[in-house]
Amino acid sequence: MNRKRVVIAGLGDVGVLTAIRLAGHADVVGISAKPALVSGQELGVRLARPEDWARDYWIPFDNFRRLDRVRKVQATLVGLDLAGRAVLGRRDDGSEVAEHYDALVISTGVSNGFWRRPTLQSPAEIGAELRAAHDRVAAADSVIVIGGGAAAITSAANMAATWPAKRIDLYFPGDRALGEYHPAIWKRIRGRLTGLGVGLHPGHRARVPDGFCGDDITGEPVHWSTGQPLSSADAVLWAIGRVRPNTDWLPPALLDERGFVRVTPELRVPGHPGVFAVGDVAATDPLRSSARNRGDALVARNIRAEFAGGDLRTFKTPGRRWGSLLGIQPNGLEVFLPTGHAFRFPTWSVERVVMPWIVRWGMYRGVRENHPLLT
């Protein structure tokens, strides 16, 4: 009996986990613009401690043991032939790619600032971009962070912790930041930021230049549409949450009015058996929760069920965002729950249990430790 072929379009955080879950059950092909998992998570650690970030969030595909069974194709996605059931791409040398599928997983995520872009990159280019952003903020005596979401919060906190002599100011439009999280979480994080010396400026909405989506760290004064005097710093980090779904390669009929992929509660694209979407690209709910709530496990399970003629399960959303906000710190890892409660993994447990066993073996089913650009 011929094995089914699954094509996974996009090997970011969710795509990699989906590929790992399906690798033993089908012939899996993963298409990615990168030669590695280059996570969009933990921007603050990425900027302040790039070596620490790279160890956990920039992982060459060859380091994942379960991806040994997956054929990886580095290419830019350029089209989808629904009738012919083929994903179309273009390699760096201009040659064309056509990967046929029995099932397709669309997990191309979103673009959001310089840290999340679907551009073809070599390992050297990834490393140079990582170092350039770090060097830019390291050289600044003052930094403005604009935004009220998780990326802005983690950036302000980690930069302040790494460089206590810098002036770090966080500007956000509402009365409080982290509006998608439980109010108790912001109360706790606000105290942490204040303790680190971060200046907090609520009620400031930046006037964003036309066409600008936070793709660069800038140095020009910031103007506020809410009427306050302009603000200046040596470096301005725009973490304004202007996400753009990476769906230019898809037929418009598959997309909602904002360009995200329409899905049923089973994470299947309506009217197209065998086509699924998961992660930030999937229009599951306003928070696009399948990116953070085991959406990979559900879509892998539903693909196997569809192949076997079984029933598909539905995705349930948590209602609020949750998770780690500041990343791994010298005193451990704090995780926030949808209820507003938090629990901390002490440093010893992060180093000996959480990362080696829960993450690298439990989630990823084995990760080789060598990293060509960190050794």
User: Could you read off the pLDDT tens digit of each residue along the chain, which spans 375 residues?
Assistant: 579 999 999 999 999 999 999 999 999 999 999 999 999 999 999 999 999 999 999 999 999 999 999 999 999 999 999 999 999 999 999 999 999 999 999 999 999 889 999 999 999 999 999 999 999 999 999 999 999 999 999 999 999 999 999 999 999 999 999 998 999 999 999 999 999 999 999 999 999 987 776 689 999 999 999 999 999 999 999 999 888 999 999 999 999 999 999 999 999 999 999 999 999 999 998 888 898 888 999 999 999 999 999 999 999 887 778 889 999 999 999 999 888 889 999 999 999 999 999 999 999 999 998 765 654
- Is residue 130 classed as helix, strand or coil in its secondary structure? helix
Report pLDDT for 369: 84
Provide the 10 A C-beta neighbour count for residue 96. Answer: 11
C-alpha–C-alpha distance, residues 265 and 200, integer Å = 39
Report pLDDT for 113: 87
C-alpha–C-alpha distance, residues 91 and 80, integer Å = 16
Q: List 9's β-bridge partners, or say none.
A: 31, 106
Report pLDDT for 374: 58
Report pLDDT for 318: 74
Residues present in the chain in total? 375
- Is residue 262 classed as helix, strand or coil in its secondary structure? coil
**H/E stretch holding 28:** strand 27-32
What lies within 8 Å, CB to CB, of 176 at 6+ separation is 148, 183, 186, 190, 202
Report pLDDT for 355: 93
Q: Are strands 142-146 and 86-90 parallel, antiparallel or unpaired?
A: unpaired
Q: Are strands 86-90 and 96-100 parallel, antiparallel or unpaired?
A: antiparallel
pTM listed for this prediction = 0.94
CB 214 within 8 A of CB 240: yes
C-alpha–C-alpha distance, residues 137 and 159, integer Å = 8
| Alpha carbon 59 to chain centroid, angstroms | 14
C-alpha–C-alpha distance, residues 106 and 31, integer Å = 10
Report pLDDT for 45: 97
